Every structure is written in C-alpha cells, then in structure tokens.
C-alpha cells in the first residue's frame, strides 16, 4: 500500500454575533467547491506550523492562532484515490478580520497562483463543504454537525 500524503486542514473560527467558519472558493473554478484551508505538510515541519502556513498561503490570514488538534482522518483523495492522512485543527481568528476578501495563493502547492475568494460563513453551515471537509466540526460543537445532517 502506498504511503499516505500527510496533510493538515484548518477550521478557522471567528466569533461575531454567531460563530463563523473561514472558507474559500476558487475564483473561476466553481466545480472545486467551497473549502477550508488545507494542504500538505513539508518534510520535518511540525503539524501546528504547517496548518498556520497553509492558512496564510491560501487566505493571507496571519493572525489566526491554534486552539487544538481535533482529529486525524485517513481518506483517499476524491479525484485520484491516492491515500491521504489529514489532521484537522481548530484555529481562532480575531473578531476584527474582514468579512470577505480575494487572495492570490502563494507557496509551493499546486494551487499557487490561483485566486481564492475568502469569506466567513455562519455556523452551523447550511451546506456541506467540498470533500465533506466540514465533517469534523462536530468535535468543536456537536450542534454544528446536527444542523448539517438535518439539511440534507
């Protein structure tokens, strides 16, 4: 069996009048779906450093802080079937961050150079994220998962 690609994913939560999740869409590529920041871990990189780097690369947000690790999931890539091991983290964003912005992705990943339309969505989410990335929100607040399931 192939060695899984080691990845991280970020649930960046901002507390406003309601809790909100940072998500993005690929500008000009609607079929990619709405996603949370996620990506590969570099050799020798600490997982907490990796998740903060991915958030900065994909959204430009540099003021988020890690609250805790949530869960590690072994799940193949939805398109290629290649094995992946993704560790999800809960991060907190300052309340004063913008509601929405466009960000040109930088870094060594496949999405470098793309533009992501970033925004905060109120929780619980009304629709599932691409590749069911929102599945583990229930580990932060069980009500978010319950609302998600009832919307299908």
Residue-wise pLDDT for 7-36, tens only, equals 999 999 999 889 999 999 999 999 999 999
For residue 30, the 8-state DSSP code is: G
CATH topology of domain 5-150: Nucleoside Triphosphate Pyrophosphohydrolase (3.90.79)
**Which residues, in sequence order, are bridge partners of residue 103?**
116
Cα 72 to chain centroid, rounded: 14
pTM here is: 0.91
Residue 144: how many other CB atoms lie within 10 Å: 20
For 76-97, what is the HEC assignment?
Answer: CCCCCCCCEEEEEEEEEECCCC
Residue-level pLDDT at 2 = 80
Q: Are 25 and 116 in contact (CB under 8 A)?
A: yes
Q: Are 88 and 100 in contact (CB under 8 A)?
A: no
pLDDT tens-place string over residues 22-80? 999 999 999 999 999 999 999 999 999 999 999 999 999 999 999 999 999 999 988 88
With pLDDT > 90 as the criterion, what percentage of the chain qualifies? 74
């Amino acid at each position: 069996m192939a060695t899984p690609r080691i990845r991280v994913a970020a649930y960046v939560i901002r507390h406003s009048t309601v809790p909100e999740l940072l998500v993005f869409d690929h500008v000009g590529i609607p079929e990619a779906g709405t996603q949370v920041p996620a990506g590969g871990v570099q050799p020798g990189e600490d997982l907490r450093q990796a998740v903060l780097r991915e958030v900065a690369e994909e959204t430009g947000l540099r003021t988020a802080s890690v609250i805790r690790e949530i869960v590690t999931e072994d799940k193949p890539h939805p398109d290629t079937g290649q094995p992946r091991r993704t560790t999800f983290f809960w991060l907190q964003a300052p309340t004063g961050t913008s509601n929405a912005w466009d960000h040109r992705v930088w870094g060594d990943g496949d999405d470098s150079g793309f533009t992501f339309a970033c925004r905060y969505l109120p929780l619980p989410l009304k629709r599932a994220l691409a590749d069911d990335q929102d599945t583990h929100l229930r580990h932060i607040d069980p009500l978010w998962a319950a609302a998600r399931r009832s919307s299908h």
